[in-house]
Amino acid sequence: MQARPGTGLAPAPVRPARPLPQRVLRWLLAAVAVAGFIGCLRLADVDPVELAEGLPTMAGWIGQAFPPSTEGLSTLLVRAAETVAIAVVGTAFAVVLALPLCVLAARTTTPSGWVRLPVRLFLNGLRGVDAFVFALLFVAAVGLGPFAGVLGIALHTWGSMGKLFSESIEALPGGPLEAAELTGASRLKTSSYTLLPDVLPSISSIGLYLLEFNIRASTVLGVVGAGGIGQELKNSVDLLAFPRLATILIVILVMVTAVDQLSARLRKALA
Amino acid sequence: MTALAVRGLTHAYGGVPVLRAVDLSVSPGEVVAVVGPSGAGKTTLFRCLTQLVRADAGTLELFGTDLQQAQGKSLRLARRDLGLVFQSYNLVRRLTAMQNVLVGRLADVPAWRVLLRRFPAADEALAAACLDQVGLLPYAHTRADRLSGGQQQRVAIARVLASRARVVLADEPVASLDPASAASVLTALRSLATDHGKAVVCSLHQVDLVAGFADRVVGLRDGRVVLDVPVSQFDPAAASALYARAG
């Protein structure tokens, strides 16, 4: 092989061209992807003309919304507190429900697939149904109000939390548990004593993260009558009461930002 | 009396033989060092001894009970007589030295006490005595992840002592330690046999550590026992023959 002039290095190898069938296949796949996306645009009724026509109306609403109304602010604040309460109680219930199940869903603590896989399926099922949908069902079952929201949040979060907790158990080194199991002690004792201390920081962090998420999720629960500030939100939209709507959005924004900041700080302290 | 008697232990991973008819015995108060080049089958031997891996053939008697035949509850009860010291210590990082030693008492303590981490005074006294034994009583309330490697390994030895197991298996316990820490760990292991009458089987890859530590040396090579001699007969010539490249 000839050295490259002036460098003394061997010539850089030339990347071989892909064979023709592979190139054709790539173009075909790209064409299918583009066609699929166009189909999705059709199905979603995306229409830029409608958006353009609607813009002036929305601009008018924004104009009407100022200045935001301060009338009934104390009621709004009570509703906002209710939203936080739904998220806090719902998440706390989820922690209590998820702790025993995450042990059954983790490979390290439950090697038997006969138990682990059904538990995982159950948790995935809960996770697959949104808190909003659960709340809709519970409003029908237990009546209007924040308790239906609490149950909705708790059930959906149970699924997510169980899965995330079990993943953090699986991420721990298995050695300490193995050492404890050699003493012949029961699984309840060995796993609670050797896994809990090391997994506590990560499960607290997961709990805070889901609390943050649930506070955002609870702001809309009122739309289906499950309590909180969402109820006020829906009323104002229905009545086209824009100054009040602006106040509600500001309250939600402040609440969510404050909780996110607080939770982010706490999680940083745990890490 | 023999504490642990292994006869004809044979095991293969995916058709590749790793252990070929291994014989090994150890008596109470005796330290046996298992030495040999990498890949000789030391780790597999230890995994078979604890039944973390069940060997394909052979017998493995622990005070007369054949572990190869034991299953379920009888295996769990029999294994309580085995204490294991691992290369990676395997302590719970966020528990204190004392709480880690108490892992050795888990089997005899009610579940509610374990959940609340409130152990009976007698168990706490025993754990403290075990820590004192390995020279770490001043560190009783220090978290495991704040201790040095050698200190963590001594906590692991105290944990075995607290479990009252009569046979102690140590798999490369000093492989990741500096010479001074290694010496302190081996002293602690030696005292398990000398002062407490435990039977100790310990694998090592530094042959120079064997003298003054073990009573007997077993050399493993290609899954076979090629040497089983009192430590006085394990001289540099025997060591270099064991580690010499085949062919």
For chain B, give every domain's residue range.
24-51+81-243
CA–CA separation, A59 and A65 (whole Å): 10
pLDDT tens-digit series, residues A240-267: 888 888 999 999 999 989 988 998 888 8
Q: Is residue A140 part of a domain?
A: yes
Cα dihedral B29→B35→B39→B45 (10° resolution) = -10
Q: Is residue A34 part of a domain?
A: no
Range of the domain at A227: 73-270
| Residues of A at the B interface, defined by Cβ within 8 angstroms | 173, 175-176, 178-180, 182-186, 188-190, 192-194, 197-198, 200
Nearest CA-CA partner of A178 in B86, B128, B101, B140 = B86
Write out the two tokens for A86: 């739904």
Is B93 in Cβ contact with A198 (below 8 Å)?
Answer: yes
Beta bridge partners of residue B59, listed in sequence order = B7
Tally Cβ neighbours within 10 Å of residue A22: 9
How many alpha carbons lie under 13 Å from residue B49 in its C-beta half-sphere? Answer: 30
pLDDT tens-digit series, residues A195-215: 988 898 889 999 999 999 999
Beta bridge partners of residue B96, listed in sequence order = B143
Give chain B positions within 8 Å (CB) of A198.
92-94
Write out the two tokens for A131: 């808190």
Give chain B positions within 8 Å (CB) of A186.
111
Q: Is residue A38 part of a domain?
A: no
Nearest CA-CA partner of A221 in A125, A144, A121, A166 = A144
How far is the alpha carbon of A134 from chain B, nearest alpha carbon, in Å? 34
Pick the CATH number of B24-51+81-243 from 3.40.50.300, 3.50.50.60, 3.40.190.10, 3.40.1670.10: 3.40.50.300
Beta bridge partners of residue B216, listed in sequence order = B32, B230
Instruction: Quote the pLDDT of residue A109.
Output: 82
**Sheet with B16-26, side-by-side order of all strands:** B16-26, B4-13, B57-62, B65-66
Instruction: Quote the pLDDT of residue B247.
Output: 42
Q: Is residue A67 part of a domain?
A: no
Which chain A residue lies closest to B85 (C-alpha atoms)?
Answer: A179
Q: Is residue A213 part of a domain?
A: yes
Give yes or no for residue A2 having a pLDDT over 70: no
Nearest CA-CA partner of B5 in B62, B48, B51 = B62
- Report the CATH number that the domain containing residue A227 is assigned in CATH: 1.10.3720.10
Q: Is residue A6 part of a domain?
A: no
pLDDT tens-digit series, residues B112-145: 999 889 999 999 999 999 999 999 999 999 999 9
CA–CA separation, B146 and B174 (whole Å): 19
CA–CA separation, A119 and B180 (whole Å): 49
pLDDT tens-digit series, residues A111-157: 888 999 999 999 999 999 999 899 999 989 888 889 999 999 999 99
Q: Is residue A5 part of a domain?
A: no
Question: Do residues B157 and B100 lie in contact, with contact meaning Cβ atoms separated by under 8 Å?
Answer: no
Instruction: Quote the pLDDT of residue A117.
Output: 93
CA–CA separation, B38 and B34 (whole Å): 12
Q: Considering its fold, how many domains does chain A have in total?
A: 1
A-to-B residue pairs, Cβ atoms closer than 8 angstroms: 68
Residues with Cβ within 8 Å of A193's Cβ and at least 6 positions away in sequence, in order, are A180, B92, B103, B106, B114, B117
CA–CA separation, B235 and A207 (whole Å): 60
Q: Is residue A185 part of a domain?
A: yes
Cα dihedral A160→A166→A170→A175 (10° resolution) = 160
Write out the two tokens for A125: 């099922």
Give this complex's ipTM: 0.84
Which residue pairs, CB below 8 angstroms and at least 24 apart, start in A93-96? A93/A150, A93/A154, A93/A158, A94/A153, A94/A154, A94/A155, A94/A157, A94/A158, A94/A161, A94/A210, A95/A161, A95/A207
Is A175 in Cβ contact with B107 (below 8 Å)?
Answer: no
